[in-house]
Structure formats: structure tokens, C-alpha cells
Amino acid sequence: MAEVDQGSAFPGEAASPAIDSLNATDSNGTDSTNATVAKFVSTPEGTALAYGSLVLMALLPIFFGALRSVNCAKGKNSSDMPETITSRDAARFPIIASCTLFGLYLFFKIFSEEYINMLLSMYFFVLGILALSHTISPFVNRLFPENFPNKQYQLLFTQGSGENKEEIVNYEFDTKDLLCLCFSSVVGVWYILKKHWIANNLFGLAFALNGVELLHLNNVSTGCILLGGLFVYDVFWVFGTNVMVTVAKSFEAPIKLVFPQDILEKGLAANNFAMLGLGDIVIPGIFIALLLRFDVSLNKNSRTYFYTGFLAYIFGLGLTIFVMHTFKHAQPALLYLVPACTGLPFFVALVKGELTEMFRYEETPPESKEDKETEKKEN
């Protein structure tokens, strides 16, 4: 998480190949990272409002993404199916993230930043529209009455013919989905043209919620491997090299949440931003979502581990801010979030005598519609 003024740049942590290592640049050219930075240029009230808003925005995708992760396997499209992360994936993730980061570093050293960011802007424009549409779809469905003329559509691309026919794309949607897509497209055009911080946050919240909802750890051990690996990755790239800060200065994308510290003075035109990288939300978030699904599997009508992990996240984020203000130095948030989000739930499980059961909990990837159809044909 980073508090920066215009023109400042600091290193930070990253989350996934799409988000990873990419501490971004805001609409006014302000470099942002997942690290927390101490530099105070606003009023105490403005700083408190900015940090409070960022913490609240960070909690929303974790809370709702975790709740939606319980039922996301029931989606009507394969794109709604969760992606299961295994222990092998988790072990390779920091290596892939490091290669991605260093590759971007070389790209920005060799090629023009303008053209690279133009390509990245278009990529995140499309990705953001789809993510935001998927995010708001359940809320839009509740707004319309039951007698709303909701027509069904299907987008189908196949390859071959007869018995050799193979589905390439099979996407089902309805009128409500089209309305969500239209709204998301308006936000996308707004972001591309203005790079406004509100549009940035709408896309950032959508990316974070989708990540927490659709990225599933298959067990607690995998979560420990992933969080532990990214803990080392974060500390190394923040304190060991200047690679991350160089990428941060060059990269433009909605991969962070921002809130202006001077909003009380300048309103929506404010431009001195406090920032929180999406990696500080998604990585702990998918582990907290796993704790919720473990709670559900216990069939005790209790959400003890979910709320414990949720409170631990708040504590870890608060500790990051506290250390930043105390030492006046950049702090990678995972340095504090990982021990908090794993240690406190493990301690509670140990006290309740459920630690072994927690580590034995295993999730299997749900069958997609294509897998089921293939199985039917084989039978």
C-alpha cells in the first residue's frame, strides 16, 4: 500500500501474473505500489479519510468475493467456474511472477513506454469491462422485477463437423447481462479517455472481487506455500533491487485502489492519492475465502475462521500503516498481512482442537459443462 504525492515512486508487492509486480501509475502520472510509503502532504483529516476509505474498499471485495466463492461453481458458463490453485501452482507462482516482473523491466528498458502502455491500456480495458460486468450482474438481477422481458442468448463457436465438431466458445447470457455489459463499457471508455480515479477504482474493485471469487486454493497447505512464497518475493523485489520501482514508474493500469488525500479541499478533482495495490487484497483474500469454505464444510452454522481471518487482515493492514508512520519508510504490506492472516486462524484452530482437520480439508476442482458433456459422450 502506498501513500504518495505527485511524482513520487516507491516499490511494492504484487499478486498474480495479471496483477503481479506491476505497481501502477495513476491518472496524473503518480507512481503507485503495493508498499506503504511515509510522506505527509495533506491535512490529518484528509489522510485519515483516505486511509479509512482504502481499508473499507479493500474489505469489500474480500468479504463479498469470499461469499460468492462458496457458490461460484454453480455458474452457467465455464468462465464462471473457479480456477483451482494446487501446491505445484503455488510453488511456481513466485518464480513466474519474478520472470514476469523482470520481463516487463526489460521491455520498458528496450521499447517505448508509450506504445507498451497503449497495448496494456487496451488489454485492461477489455478485461475491466468483463470483470465489472461479472461483478455487478448479481446486483442488477435483483433490481429488475420478475416480469421483466429477459431474453436468453447464446454465443457459440464450433470447429469441425459431425462427430469431430468441437466447441471453441459457448457463452450463455441474457438481456440483463447485456445491460451490465453496456454500463461496464461506459466505465471503460471513461477510464480510457480520462483515467479518472473513480473509474480506476471501479475496475480495481471488480478485478479484486473476481480474483477472490474465482481463484480457489485447494487446501490450507497450498495457501501457506503461496503466501510464504509471495512473502519472500515481495521482500526481495522491494528491498533487494530497483526493478520493481522502475516498472512502477512506467506501468499504467487499474491494478490499484486510490483515494485522494486532498478531496476535502479539491473535491473530485483532487490529485494527491493514497493507494493500495490489488495484490494486497487478492492474495490474502483467496486464503480468507478458503477459510470461509472450510467453515461451511464443518456444518456447524458458524463462520469462526472466516471472521478470524477477516479481522486478522484488518489488523495486518493497520499494522502496515502504523509501521509506515513510525519508521517513515516504504513497507511491503505482505510482510505484515501474511503472518497475521495465517497465524491468527491457525491459533484459533489449535485452541479449538481443529488444526488437523483444517489441514486435511481438501477441495476438488468442479467439473465444467464441457467435461460433463465429454463424459456423457464417452459413456
Residues assigned a catalytic role: 234, 280
3-class DSSP assignment, residue 203? helix
Q: Which residue has the cell 504484487?
A: 14
Chain center to CA of 2: 16
Chain center to CA of 190: 21
Rounded to an integer, what distance in angstroms lies between the CA atom of residue 318 and that of residue 305?
A: 20
Rounded to an integer, what distance in angstroms lies between the CA atom of residue 281 and that of residue 138?
A: 22
Q: What is the DSSP letter of 31?
A: B
Cell of 152: 436468453
Asked if 7 and 28 touch (Cβ cutoff 8 Å), the reply is no
Residue 29 Ramachandran class (φ > 0 left, ψ -120 to 50 alpha, else beta): left
Helix 334-352 and helix 279-298, axial crossing angle in degrees, nearest 10 = 10
Q: What's the Rg (C-alpha) of the chain?
A: 21
Going by their DSSP bridges, the two strands 215-217 and 83-85 should be labelled as parallel
Q: Which residue has the cell 521482500?
A: 235
Q: Which residue has the cell 479493500?
A: 58
Rounded to an integer, what distance in angstroms lies between the CA atom of residue 170 and that of residue 315?
A: 43
The alpha carbon torsion through 277, 258, 29, 184 (nearest 10 deg) reads 90
Rounded to an integer, what distance in angstroms lies between the CA atom of residue 279 and that of residue 30?
A: 18
The amino acid occupying position 242 is: N
Helix 87-110 and helix 113-143, axial crossing angle in degrees, nearest 10 = 130
The amino acid occupying position 354 is: E
